[in-house]
Amino acid sequence: MQTEEQRHLARPRRLLLCLDGVPHELIQRAQGRGLFELFNPPTRLLSPFPTMTNVALSAMLGASPPAGYESLYFDRTTQQLQGGIRKYLGRRTPDKIPSSYMDELDYQEPLAFEFLIYVAADTVWRSDMQRFREDFLNAPQRRDYFAFLKATDGLLHSRGPQRLAIALESLDAILKEIRRVCGEETEIVLFSDHGMNLQENKRTNIVTNLQRHGFEVRSSLNDQGRRSVCVPAFGLCSYAAAYCSSEELVPSVADALIEEPGVDFVVHRDGAAVILSGERGSARIERREPNGKWYRYTPVAGDPLKLNSIAKTISLAGHFDSDGFAPDSVWFSTTKSHEYPDALNNIYSSLFQHRVKHTADVLISLLDGYYYGWSPFGRFVTLAATHGNALRSSTNAFVMSTHRQLPEFVRADDARELLRG
């Protein structure tokens, strides 16, 4: 049986480099300016909802799911918040490694950079890229190398696309140097974990909304007699996750949340189905798997995902069965470039696939231009862009290769073979 090194040597050596938070749109613009000319055109890599780093990379790399959507998360075992800012202090101990994909990394930024990028963006990204360059050039030349540059995410959050464009110029020069030193046989695969909305964002008042509807927003749900909800607030992102003190509260919490300005839609489980509600109405999403995955989208009121016209096209093509289900492949081909890319599979999987160890009772997708997060963090970070929701801007990550022309669209769950195979 071949060893992992022998399998890698059967194809070109590969540098796998993840740029945190860089959307397809910006890498396409960079290539249009003449950068990354060594690469084939970028593929749209569809990030899973919520479009967050650890959720996305664990799916893309077939790794273990993180405990929660962010480093501050609700633990169903203890029924209270865990993690948070202390995850960024000191050195990386096992409890600070959220997913097994991090065990594969040859380079990642020093732990302190994860926080400092938001307050000292220029210094941190320059240092991060040079540390990566030196580490790669000193690494053994006979095996693959996997690096993760988190500074790009911080640059976009705090400084916007203009500053990122400067950083990408520096990265392009580094990659050209790597190609000269290592030879053209070294394949470089550049990709990102999620996209980003490129506009100013303002905070939603989710906690105030829930309190106004008679719910207590708490960090612990151990007292089952209360109408209590926990909504972890950490990064300034365009999604939120709610955990309820009892299953009976879930529908009423969801109903309360859709009234909040900035909320696009909320989803929660109803048996084996997903109930999706928003300002444009409500719908039911169901999946069955007799021979592969099949989905049914049933609007209850309005058309919250704007899929009625697509459903009509699918119907005219004869793809629905007698119960109104159509194959997953059909829904994917007709919605991959939609406002909500790959909507049915992506949203259904957010609640029924093991994306995180502690799945929320209610997931909230905010409109572009809105965020939820930790208030003190918001006071010293000017938010020029963010991510997390199920819209195209956050969902469209990218992947591109110097050696291969990749499919036009790739789901996160299907990316491992392209990235690591």
223 C-beta neighbours (distance < 10 Å), count? 11
Residue 114 contacts residue 125 (beta carbons within 8 Å): no
Average pLDDT estimate for 109-123: 72
Q: 170 and 208 share a domain?
A: no
> Is 400 inside a domain boundary?
yes
Dump pLDDT digits (tens) for 294-335. Answer: 999 999 999 999 999 999 999 999 999 999 999 999 999 999
Residue 220 domain boundaries: 202-380
Q: 402 and 416 share a domain?
A: yes
Measured between alpha carbons, how far is 363 from 50 in angstroms, rounded to an integer?
A: 8
Band (291; pLDDT cuts 50, 70, 90):
confident
Task: Tell me which residue has tokens 């997390």.
Answer: 388
Q: 176 and 48 share a domain?
A: yes
> Is 84 inside a domain boundary?
no
Predicted TM-score of the model (pTM): 0.93
Q: 138 and 232 share a domain?
A: no
Q: 291 and 407 share a domain?
A: no
Q: 55 and 192 share a domain?
A: yes
> Is 79 inside a domain boundary?
no
Q: 194 and 206 share a domain?
A: no
The per-residue pLDDT of the chain, averaged, comes to 91
Band (269; pLDDT cuts 50, 70, 90):
very high
Average pLDDT estimate for 89-104: 72
> Is 46 inside a domain boundary?
yes
pLDDT at residue 233 tops 90: yes
CATH of the domain at 412: 3.40.720.10
Provide the domain count of the chain. 2
266 C-beta neighbours (distance < 10 Å), count? 24
Q: 236 and 129 share a domain?
A: no
Q: What is the pLDDT of residue 6?
A: 46
pLDDT at residue 353 tops 90: yes
Measured between alpha carbons, how far is 64 from 70 in angstroms, rounded to an integer?
A: 15
**High-pLDDT (> 90) share of the chain, %:** 77
Q: What is the pLDDT of residue 53?
A: 95
Q: 328 and 244 share a domain?
A: yes
Task: Tell me which residue has tokens 């202390």.
Answer: 86
Least reliable range by pLDDT among 26-40, 41-55, 222-236, 398-412? 222-236
Average pLDDT estimate for 262-288: 97
Band (87; pLDDT cuts 50, 70, 90):
low
Dump pLDDT digits (tens) for 397-421. Answer: 999 999 999 999 999 999 999 998 7
Q: What is the pLDDT of residue 7?
A: 45
Q: 316 and 396 share a domain?
A: no
**Two structure tokens written together for 291:** 């021979």
Q: 130 and 209 share a domain?
A: no
Q: Does residue 398 sit in helix, strand or coil?
A: strand
Measured between alpha carbons, how far is 235 from 153 in angstroms, rounded to an integer?
A: 12
Q: 225 and 325 share a domain?
A: yes
Measured between alpha carbons, how far is 142 from 296 in angstroms, rounded to an integer?
A: 49
> How many residues in the chain?
421
> Is 85 inside a domain boundary?
no
